[in-house]
Structure 1
Amino acid sequence: MNARVVSVQVGVSRPLTVGGRRVLSAIGKTPVQGAVPVGPLGLDGDEQADPSVHGGLSKAVYAYPVEHLPDWQRWRREAGVCLFDDALPFGFVGENLSTEGLLEGEVWIGDQWALGDLLLRVTAPREPCYKFNAVTGLRDAGRRMVEGRCCGWYLSVVRPGTVQAGAAITVQPGPRAMSIAEAFLAKRFKHMR
């Protein structure tokens, strides 16, 4: 398995208009160049507007597979919300790390990722929220994320270090009791009951 970080993004909290009201959000992430320091609470220069759902020690870093971006582009095109057919930018779903080579069914809670001097641990799937729907331009983005099993995942910082685009991801297997895909579906099913 050749997994790697394709791009690294950070963002700050800014007002976002959702359904006619303004809320604070840091979902807008933009790529940065070079090595970015990563501490216990995430990447330097990155913020989370609502630490009750994003951020903190167990959700310090959000990773998302670039393999899903063509699906989001197609869904947006079919819904008539994308004006151009350009590829979606890295950071489109609010991820810190745009990754390649690992999908939700191959990522396990408790696995550790070594990226040079940085060591991360996979902790949980990302769950969609109303801000995600607004940013994608799709009212049913959350449903599409569930049906496509394309949620991405959170990581905690085991050992601080730096990360940069092009970094190889060396997976150190954990207990392998539950994949991100299984955890995501279990959470979504629980919320639907």
Structure 2
Amino acid sequence: MRYTVDEVFIGTVRLLSADGERSGIFKAPADGPVMLTPTGLAGDEQADLRHHGGPDKALHHFPVEHYALLAAEWPHCADSVGAGFLGENLSTHGLTEHELCIGDVLSIGAARVQVSQTRSPCWKIDLRVKAEGASRFVEAAGITGWYYRVLQPGLIGAGDVLELIERPNPWLTLAHYWESVTAHRPEPGMLRRIAMAPGLAADKAKRWAERADWLESASA
């Protein structure tokens, strides 16, 4: 599996709303190769470090083709949405949640990364798109994008090849993962299997194991 990185995006924290809300969702294409470190790209910032950034969310990838769905749903933003609009660091064509699995290890330029989790859409997407319900639409459509942890730091840039190296969980595509964990009453056994998947972010593994416990106790 080989895909080409169309663009790499970085950005600083800026004002998102008139209420004073600040965000790192605003990104611009990098001028050249950027150093990818265990906590993210050099020069890239996040405002809410509780929910964004950190080792298990070091690099955010969002497929550019997902923007066509947003533009079709909200025509008023059709001229605005496009690569980088929702704060992603990597943009590609052809690689979606159906092609990647939790735990996949990939090379990008001089770096090596691992898929750690999907992105959880939040209300800031509503503000960015200027449409109430945009985050719920992204969630329901499963067009979340995903995060990588960094296994080997290195320079990455537009034009680099994104190549699969290892796949420890071929049964757990990101699409299957998202459908399973967002189900109204998921099957506890599936949640436990997901929680044990190598490469899944530790906080997510703990959450799904605990939810499996709760579902089993509630049905006892």
- So what's the TM-score if we normalise by structure 1? 0.88
Offset at residue 112 of structure 1 (A): 0.9
Q: Which amino acid aligns with 2:58?
A: A
1:184 is aligned, of 178, 185, 190, to: 178
Q: Deviations over 1:31-58 (max 9, x none)?
A: 1121111111110110111121111001
Identity of aligned residues (%): 35
Aligned counterparts of 1:191 and 1:12: Cα–Cα separation in 2: 39
Q: CA distance change for structure 1 residues 24 and 69 in 2, over 3 Å: closer, same or farther?
A: same
Q: What SS class does the counterpart of residue 169 from structure 1 fall into?
A: strand
Q: Which amino acid aligns with 1:5?
A: V
Aligned counterparts of 1:86 and 1:15: Cα–Cα separation in 2: 21
Q: What SS class does the counterpart of residue 146 from structure 1 fall into?
A: helix
1:93 is aligned, of 86, 92, 95, to: 86
Q: Confirm or deny: 8 A CA contact 2:118 2:146 kept in the other structure.
A: yes
> Which moved further from structure 2: 45-54 or 119-128?
45-54
Offset at residue 191 of structure 1 (A): 9.8
Q: Confirm or deny: 8 A CA contact 1:118 1:161 kept in the other structure.
A: yes
Offset at residue 190 of structure 1 (A): 6.0
Q: Confirm or deny: 8 A CA contact 2:109 2:157 kept in the other structure.
A: no
**Unpaired stretches in structure 2, ≥5 consecutive residues:** 187-214, 216-220
1:149 — aligned with what?
142
Q: Deviations over 1:141-193 (max 9, x none)?
A: 12211232111000011000011111111112321142211222333336999
Q: Deviations over 1:106-140 (max 9, x none)?
A: 11111011013110100000011111111012211
- So what's the TM-score if we normalise by structure 2? 0.78
Aligned counterparts of 2:56 and 2:38: Cα–Cα separation in 1: 9
Equivalent residues, number: 186
Aligned counterparts of 1:60 and 1:191: Cα–Cα separation in 2: 30
**Unpaired stretches in structure 1, ≥5 consecutive residues:** none
Structure number having the greater helix percentage:
2
Q: How big is the alpha-carbon RMSD for the aligned residues of Structure 1 and Structure 2?
A: 2.1
2:121 — aligned with what?
128
Higher RCO, 1 vs 2 (CA within 8 Å, ≥6 residues apart): 1
Offset at residue 60 of structure 1 (A): 0.4
